[in-house]
Protein backbone atom coordinates (compact mmCIF):
# COMPACT_ATOMS: atom_id res chain seq x y z
CA UNK A 1 0.00 0.00 0.00
CA UNK A 2 1.54 3.29 -1.03
CA UNK A 3 1.31 6.14 1.49
CA UNK A 4 -0.18 8.28 -1.27
CA UNK A 5 -3.06 5.86 -1.88
CA UNK A 6 -3.68 5.52 1.85
CA UNK A 7 -3.97 9.29 2.22
CA UNK A 8 -6.13 9.59 -0.90
CA UNK A 9 -8.64 7.16 0.62
CA UNK A 10 -8.67 9.16 3.85
CA UNK A 11 -9.19 12.38 1.91
CA UNK A 12 -12.08 10.80 0.02
CA UNK A 13 -13.75 9.83 3.30
CA UNK A 14 -13.33 13.34 4.70
CA UNK A 15 -14.79 14.82 1.53
CA UNK A 16 -17.83 12.53 1.57
CA UNK A 17 -18.40 13.25 5.24
CA UNK A 18 -18.20 17.01 4.68
CA UNK A 19 -20.36 17.11 1.54
CA UNK A 20 -22.91 14.35 2.16
CA UNK A 21 -22.99 13.04 5.72
CA UNK A 22 -22.67 16.01 8.05
CA UNK A 23 -25.03 18.37 6.18
CA UNK A 24 -27.88 15.93 6.88
CA UNK A 25 -26.95 15.05 10.45
CA UNK A 26 -29.96 15.93 12.64
CA UNK A 27 -31.68 17.24 9.51
CA UNK A 28 -33.21 14.09 8.01
CA UNK A 29 -36.77 14.28 6.76
CA UNK A 30 -39.17 11.45 7.54
CA UNK A 31 -38.96 10.12 4.00
CA UNK A 32 -35.14 10.12 4.16
CA UNK A 33 -35.28 7.03 6.40
CA UNK A 34 -36.55 3.53 5.58
CA UNK A 35 -36.32 -0.02 6.92
CA UNK A 36 -34.29 -2.63 5.04
CA UNK A 37 -35.58 -5.19 7.51
CA UNK A 38 -37.39 -4.90 10.85
CA UNK A 39 -35.19 -2.73 13.07
CA UNK A 40 -32.54 -2.29 10.35
CA UNK A 41 -32.60 1.29 9.06
CA UNK A 42 -31.19 2.83 5.93
CA UNK A 43 -31.11 6.53 5.06
CA UNK A 44 -30.63 8.61 1.96
CA UNK A 45 -27.16 9.36 3.35
CA UNK A 46 -26.20 5.65 3.24
CA UNK A 47 -27.05 5.50 -0.45
CA UNK A 48 -25.46 8.81 -1.45
CA UNK A 49 -22.34 8.17 0.60
CA UNK A 50 -21.87 4.72 -0.93
CA UNK A 51 -22.29 6.10 -4.44
CA UNK A 52 -19.77 8.90 -3.92
CA UNK A 53 -17.23 6.62 -2.21
CA UNK A 54 -17.55 4.05 -4.99
CA UNK A 55 -16.91 6.72 -7.63
CA UNK A 56 -13.81 7.92 -5.82
CA UNK A 57 -12.37 4.46 -5.17
CA UNK A 58 -12.89 3.47 -8.81
CA UNK A 59 -10.68 6.37 -9.83
CA UNK A 60 -8.01 5.54 -7.26
CA UNK A 61 -7.68 1.82 -8.05
CA UNK A 62 -9.64 0.87 -11.18
CA UNK A 63 -8.57 -2.79 -11.05
CA UNK A 64 -10.34 -3.39 -7.73
CA UNK A 65 -14.03 -4.30 -7.54
CA UNK A 66 -16.24 -2.37 -5.14
CA UNK A 67 -18.70 -4.02 -2.77
CA UNK A 68 -20.74 -1.68 -0.60
CA UNK A 69 -23.20 -2.52 2.15
CA UNK A 70 -26.24 -1.19 0.31
CA UNK A 71 -25.31 -2.95 -2.93
CA UNK A 72 -24.79 -6.17 -0.99
CA UNK A 73 -28.15 -5.76 0.73
CA UNK A 74 -29.81 -5.73 -2.69
CA UNK A 75 -27.58 -8.52 -4.03
CA UNK A 76 -26.21 -10.69 -1.19
CA UNK A 77 -24.31 -12.81 -3.71
CA UNK A 78 -21.74 -10.01 -3.87
CA UNK A 79 -20.47 -11.13 -0.48
CA UNK A 80 -19.67 -14.54 -1.93
CA UNK A 81 -17.02 -12.97 -4.18
CA UNK A 82 -14.86 -11.35 -1.51
CA UNK A 83 -12.24 -14.12 -1.66
CA UNK A 84 -11.37 -13.34 -5.28
CA UNK A 85 -9.01 -10.63 -6.54
CA UNK A 86 -8.88 -7.11 -5.14
CA UNK A 87 -12.00 -5.67 -3.56
CA UNK A 88 -12.89 -2.40 -1.91
CA UNK A 89 -15.34 -3.22 0.90
CA UNK A 90 -17.39 -0.19 1.94
CA UNK A 91 -19.66 0.65 4.85
CA UNK A 92 -20.86 4.10 3.81
CA UNK A 93 -22.49 4.92 7.15
CA UNK A 94 -21.90 2.61 10.08
CA UNK A 95 -24.18 3.33 13.01
CA UNK A 96 -27.12 4.27 10.79
CA UNK A 97 -29.63 3.91 13.64
CA UNK A 98 -27.66 6.43 15.70
CA UNK A 99 -27.44 8.80 12.74
CA UNK A 100 -31.17 8.50 12.04
CA UNK A 101 -31.86 9.33 15.70
CA UNK A 102 -29.65 12.40 15.44
CA UNK A 103 -26.95 11.19 17.78
CA UNK A 104 -23.42 9.82 17.69
CA UNK A 105 -21.46 7.67 17.13
CA UNK A 106 -21.41 6.89 13.44
CA UNK A 107 -18.56 6.30 11.02
CA UNK A 108 -17.47 5.62 7.46
CA UNK A 109 -15.45 2.45 6.90
CA UNK A 110 -13.43 1.14 3.97
CA UNK A 111 -11.27 -1.99 3.66
CA UNK A 112 -9.08 -3.16 0.81
CA UNK A 113 -9.08 -6.93 0.32
CA UNK A 114 -6.77 -9.13 -1.74
CA UNK A 115 -8.03 -12.68 -2.33
CA UNK A 116 -10.18 -12.46 0.79
CA UNK A 117 -7.52 -11.08 3.16
CA UNK A 118 -7.83 -7.54 4.47
CA UNK A 119 -4.75 -5.57 3.46
CA UNK A 120 -5.72 -2.13 4.73
CA UNK A 121 -8.60 -0.54 6.59
CA UNK A 122 -9.88 2.96 7.33
CA UNK A 123 -12.43 4.10 9.94
CA UNK A 124 -13.45 7.77 9.93
CA UNK A 125 -15.52 9.45 12.63
CA UNK A 126 -16.75 12.70 11.03
CA UNK A 127 -17.64 14.39 14.32
CA UNK A 128 -14.33 14.17 16.17
CA UNK A 129 -12.82 13.97 13.41
CA UNK A 130 -10.82 10.81 14.09
CA UNK A 131 -9.33 8.53 11.48
CA UNK A 132 -8.09 5.05 12.26
CA UNK A 133 -5.91 3.33 9.70
CA UNK A 134 -4.21 -0.05 9.60
CA UNK A 135 -2.09 -1.84 7.05
CA UNK A 136 -1.37 -5.53 7.32
CA UNK A 137 2.09 -6.08 8.78
CA UNK A 138 2.74 -2.36 9.15
CA UNK A 139 0.78 -1.36 12.23
CA UNK A 140 -2.26 0.60 13.34
CA UNK A 141 -2.48 4.38 13.34
CA UNK A 142 -4.75 6.90 15.02
CA UNK A 143 -4.73 10.32 13.36
CA UNK A 144 -1.39 9.44 11.81
CA UNK A 145 0.30 8.28 15.03
CA UNK A 146 1.12 4.61 15.54
CA UNK A 147 -0.91 3.07 18.34
CA UNK A 148 -0.84 -0.10 20.45
CA UNK A 149 -3.94 -1.49 22.13
CA UNK A 150 -4.27 -1.09 25.87
CA UNK A 151 -6.53 -2.51 28.54
CA UNK A 152 -8.73 -0.50 30.87
CA UNK A 153 -7.60 0.14 34.47
CA UNK A 154 -10.68 -1.58 35.94
CA UNK A 155 -10.47 -4.72 38.08
CA UNK A 156 -13.07 -6.51 36.00
CA UNK A 157 -12.62 -6.28 32.21
CA UNK A 158 -15.16 -3.94 30.61
CA UNK A 159 -17.24 -5.99 28.18
CA UNK A 160 -19.45 -4.43 25.51
CA UNK A 161 -21.76 -7.31 24.63
CA UNK A 162 -24.11 -6.95 21.66
CA UNK A 163 -26.95 -8.71 23.43
CA UNK A 164 -29.79 -6.74 21.84
CA UNK A 165 -29.58 -8.85 18.67
CA UNK A 166 -30.01 -12.06 20.67
CA UNK A 167 -33.04 -13.86 22.04
CA UNK A 168 -34.01 -13.18 25.64
CA UNK A 169 -32.76 -16.63 26.58
CA UNK A 170 -29.36 -15.98 24.99
CA UNK A 171 -29.11 -12.59 26.67
CA UNK A 172 -29.74 -14.12 30.06
CA UNK A 173 -27.20 -16.88 29.45
CA UNK A 174 -24.41 -14.47 28.49
CA UNK A 175 -25.24 -12.15 31.38
CA UNK A 176 -25.08 -15.09 33.80
CA UNK A 177 -21.71 -16.22 32.45
CA UNK A 178 -20.29 -12.70 32.74
CA UNK A 179 -21.62 -12.07 36.24
CA UNK A 180 -18.76 -11.33 38.63
CA UNK A 181 -16.14 -11.91 35.94
CA UNK A 182 -16.80 -9.20 33.37
CA UNK A 183 -18.42 -5.79 33.83
CA UNK A 184 -21.02 -5.40 31.09
CA UNK A 185 -21.08 -1.87 29.61
CA UNK A 186 -23.31 -0.28 26.95
CA UNK A 187 -22.45 -0.84 23.30
CA UNK A 188 -22.17 2.13 20.91
CA UNK A 189 -24.30 0.43 18.19
CA UNK A 190 -21.48 1.22 15.77
CA UNK A 191 -18.61 -1.15 14.99
CA UNK A 192 -16.68 1.84 13.70
CA UNK A 193 -16.69 3.15 17.27
CA UNK A 194 -16.47 -0.18 19.08
CA UNK A 195 -13.12 -1.28 17.62
CA UNK A 196 -11.36 1.99 18.54
CA UNK A 197 -12.81 1.74 22.05
CA UNK A 198 -11.14 -1.64 22.50
CA UNK A 199 -7.82 -0.36 21.16
CA UNK A 200 -7.95 2.75 23.34
CA UNK A 201 -8.71 0.85 26.55
CA UNK A 202 -12.21 2.30 26.89
CA UNK A 203 -13.56 -1.26 26.58
CA UNK A 204 -11.57 -4.45 27.06
CA UNK A 205 -13.84 -6.88 25.26
CA UNK A 206 -16.55 -6.65 22.59
CA UNK A 207 -18.97 -9.36 21.53
CA UNK A 208 -20.75 -8.99 18.20
CA UNK A 209 -23.88 -10.98 17.44
CA UNK A 210 -23.66 -10.09 13.74
CA UNK A 211 -20.56 -10.26 11.56
CA UNK A 212 -21.29 -8.69 8.19
CA UNK A 213 -17.87 -8.19 6.56
CA UNK A 214 -18.35 -4.50 5.81
CA UNK A 215 -18.85 -3.96 9.56
CA UNK A 216 -15.71 -5.78 10.67
CA UNK A 217 -12.99 -5.95 8.00
CA UNK A 218 -11.45 -2.55 8.73
CA UNK A 219 -11.94 -2.65 12.49
CA UNK A 220 -10.64 -6.17 13.03
CA UNK A 221 -7.45 -5.33 11.13
CA UNK A 222 -7.04 -2.11 13.11
CA UNK A 223 -7.33 -4.06 16.36
CA UNK A 224 -5.06 -6.87 15.16
CA UNK A 225 -2.33 -4.51 14.01
CA UNK A 226 -2.57 -2.69 17.34
CA UNK A 227 -1.92 -5.96 19.18
CA UNK A 228 -5.45 -7.18 19.93
CA UNK A 229 -7.45 -10.10 18.64
CA UNK A 230 -10.76 -10.81 16.90
CA UNK A 231 -11.97 -14.39 16.46
CA UNK A 232 -15.09 -16.54 16.60
CA UNK A 233 -16.18 -18.58 19.59
CA UNK A 234 -14.33 -21.63 18.23
CA UNK A 235 -11.07 -19.67 18.16
CA UNK A 236 -10.89 -19.31 14.38
CA UNK A 237 -9.41 -15.99 13.32
CA UNK A 238 -11.69 -13.41 11.76
CA UNK A 239 -12.26 -13.70 8.02
CA UNK A 240 -14.51 -11.73 5.69
CA UNK A 241 -15.62 -15.04 4.20
CA UNK A 242 -17.43 -16.12 7.38
CA UNK A 243 -20.53 -14.50 8.85
CA UNK A 244 -21.27 -16.46 12.00
CA UNK A 245 -22.55 -14.97 15.28
CA UNK A 246 -20.50 -14.68 18.47
CA UNK A 247 -17.55 -12.73 17.06
CA UNK A 248 -15.32 -11.71 19.97
CA UNK A 249 -12.71 -8.95 20.12
CA UNK A 250 -10.31 -8.15 22.94
CA UNK A 251 -7.48 -5.72 23.57
CA UNK A 252 -4.90 -8.52 23.87
CA UNK A 253 -4.79 -12.20 22.86
CA UNK A 254 -4.50 -13.18 26.55
CA UNK A 255 -7.61 -11.20 27.40
CA UNK A 256 -9.39 -12.78 24.43
CA UNK A 257 -8.64 -16.22 25.83
CA UNK A 258 -9.94 -15.23 29.25
CA UNK A 259 -13.12 -13.68 27.88
CA UNK A 260 -13.76 -16.62 25.55
CA UNK A 261 -13.51 -19.05 28.45
CA UNK A 262 -16.01 -16.98 30.41
CA UNK A 263 -18.49 -16.38 27.60
CA UNK A 264 -18.24 -19.61 25.63
CA UNK A 265 -16.91 -22.04 28.21
pLDDT at residue number 135: 98
pLDDT at residue number 231: 98
Interatomic CA distance for residues 123 and 125, integer angstroms: 7
Domain ranges across the chain: 3-147, 158-264
Q: What is the mean pLDDT of the chain?
A: 96
pLDDT at residue number 152: 97
What fold characterizes domain 158-264?
Answer: D-Maltodextrin-Binding Protein; domain 2 (3.40.190)
Interatomic CA distance for residues 27 and 102, integer angstroms: 8
pLDDT at residue number 39: 82
Low-confidence ranges of the chain (pLDDT < 50): none
pLDDT at residue number 45: 98
pLDDT at residue number 46: 98
Q: Tens digit of pLDDT for each residue in 182-226?
A: 999 999 999 999 999 999 999 999 999 999 999 999 999 999 999
Q: Which of 89, 118, 95, 69 is nearest to 193 (CA)?
A: 95
CATH of domain 3-147: 3.30.540.10
pTM over 0.75: yes
pLDDT at residue number 28: 97
Report the greatest alpha carbon distance in the chain.
Answer: 52
Strands annotated E in 75-228: 86-94, 107-114, 117-125, 130-135, 139-142, 145-147, 158-161, 183-185, 205-208
pLDDT at residue number 185: 96
The SS3 call for residue 252 is coil
Amino acid sequence: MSPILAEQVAMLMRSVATEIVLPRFQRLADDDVAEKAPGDLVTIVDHESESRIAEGLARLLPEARIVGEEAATKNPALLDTLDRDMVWLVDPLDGTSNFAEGKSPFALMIALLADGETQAGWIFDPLTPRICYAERGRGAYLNGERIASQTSPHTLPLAALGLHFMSEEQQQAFAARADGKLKIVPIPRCAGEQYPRVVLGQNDVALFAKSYPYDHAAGSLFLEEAGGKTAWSDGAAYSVNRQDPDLLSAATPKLWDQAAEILFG
